Structure 1
Amino acid sequence: MSTDVWTSDSFVFAAGSVLFRRHLETQDLQICILHNPRNDKWCLPKGRKDRGESLETTAVRETFEETGYPCELLPCRMPTRAPAPNCRQRGAEVVDGAVEPFAVSVRPISRSATKGVKFISWYITKLKEDSQEKIAGTQTPWENYESVFMNVDIAVEHLDFRDDADIARKAVELVREAIEAKVLEL
């Protein structure tokens, strides 16, 4: 693998999340996905990082803005290469309560861009406990998404972009494993 250098005018940091909840009646595990009626595509919530903003804050803000659902990071069991403070860790280690990105995707800034890259950090989020209702008016004027909660397996199949489906599938796997191991309640 070669090393690439990107200067500040040729890259974008972004973040998104896979937003989980339990269905109020059935208790089925669900995720929220977005439908874009302009192109009839289904995708995950994500967006660009604002200046001075952390990636974690970006993920929560963008998920809320695009879905209308107040959310927060969901501490989960996952493998991570991020070391504990003052610890020398070489490989991945499975940790409980992690709020690190569980995936990173790298895309061209746009289809027409000849040079430029977008780094997207992906997080696992959940609805805030006191906020089960969707809030209207959270999207920017140029966004027109319809947010829909679906049972996890159906939602993954609805996603139109392979990388979104792969990201959602991995988040579902991590959450299900953590629930089975009884290190996560949702």
Structure 2
Amino acid sequence: MALPWTVTFSPDFYLASGTVTVDLPRRKVLVLHDLPTSTYHLPRGRKDWSEPLESTAIRETYEEAGCTATLLPVPLSTRCTPPSTHPQLPTARFDPSGDVLLPNTARLTEPIALMQHSQKKNGALAIVLWYVAIGDSQAQLAKETQMSDEEYEALWVGFDDAPGMMVNSAYAQVLQRGIDLALAASQMDVDVGR
């Protein structure tokens, strides 16, 4: 079903991004426990002026969780246009339309999902792009990185347990997709090493 064309002007929406941050060797994922609401979600937040969304995702992961993360190139399927100079272009394969990159043919740090919702307090449309990142669950988390209105506890949770903890099914789907893509990237590394 095709969506109708609509326009939303800048006072009525905001762009945000976040991460599914994984520690592959330990099979753990970074989760935020929102202490006032006793809910669990992933690190994410609004972009700053002139900030690339990839940078927003990494910054918000650090600010909300105290975790230093790095984007992980994953073998996702995407409609992003490849530049003619991209080093993975010779191995990339596309669907019959030529518009969709097939999974497992190139590893990219592009968004894995887009989440939309209306903000409760003012009705603004939140558009959140999600990325996969890697972090170290044994590293000390930085302290006092959160904004004054944030009360989060950062937790590293096992891959199997984390989706069921999420505040809603949208977060659970994003989290599971991130884990699956991270594991696929890890398997590609193993296959190359054979």
TM-score interval for Structure 1 and Structure 2 normalised by the shorter chain: 0.7 to 0.9
Other structure's SS at 1:76 match: coil
TM-score, normalisation: structure 2: 0.84
The alignment status of 1:107 with 2:117, answered yes or no, reads yes
Q: Return the match for 2:106 from 96, 108, 120.
A: 96
Structure with greater strand share of residues: 1
Q: Return the match for 2:134 from 123, 126, 133.
A: 126
* Identity across matched positions, percent: 26
Out of 163-172 and 152-161, give the one that drifted further. 152-161
Structure 2 gaps, min length 5:
90-96
Matches within 5 A, 1:140-179: 140-179=147-186
**Residue 15 of structure 1 aligns with which residue?**
17
Q: Distance in 2 between matches of 1:70 and 1:168?
A: 18
Q: Return the match for 1:180 from 173, 180, 187.
A: 187
Amino acid at match of 1:111: K
Q: Given the superposition, is the C-alpha separation of residues 141 and 111 from structure 1 closer, same or farther in structure 2, using an over 3 Å criterion?
A: closer
* Contact 1:76/1:184, CA 8 A, preserved across alignment: no
Q: Return the match for 1:32 from 1, 5, 30.
A: 30
* Contact 2:107/2:185, CA 8 A, preserved across alignment: no
* Contact 1:77/1:183, CA 8 A, preserved across alignment: no
Q: Distance in 1 between matches of 2:191 and 2:156?
A: 20
**Residue 2 of structure 1 aligns with which residue?**
4
Q: Deviations over 1:12-46 (max 9, x none)?
A: 00000001114xxxx43110100011011011110
* Contact 1:64/1:138, CA 8 A, preserved across alignment: yes
Other structure's SS at 1:163 match: helix
Q: Distance in 1 between matches of 2:45 and 2:79?
A: 24
Q: Distance in 2 between matches of 1:160 and 1:184?
A: 35
TM-aligned CA deviation for residue 120 of structure 1: 0.3
TM-score, normalisation: structure 1: 0.87
Amino acid at match of 1:105: M
Q: Distance in 2 between matches of 1:99 and 1:89?
A: 20
Amino acid at match of 1:152: F
Amino acid at match of 1:30: K
**Residue 66 of structure 1 aligns with which residue?**
64
Q: Given the superposition, is the C-alpha separation of residues 13 and 183 from structure 1 closer, same or farther in structure 2, using an over 3 Å criterion?
A: farther
Q: Given the superposition, is the C-alpha separation of residues 3 and 36 from structure 1 closer, same or farther in structure 2, using an over 3 Å criterion?
A: same
Other structure's SS at 1:35 match: strand
Other structure's SS at 1:150 match: strand
Out of 120-129 and 157-166, give the one that drifted further. 120-129
Other structure's SS at 2:133 match: strand
Question: How many pairs are equivalent?
Answer: 178
Q: Deviations over 1:60-90 (max 9, x none)?
A: 0001111101111111111111121149942
TM-aligned CA deviation for residue 93 of structure 1: 3.1
Structure 1 gaps, min length 5:
none
Amino acid at match of 1:97: R
Amino acid at match of 2:164: E
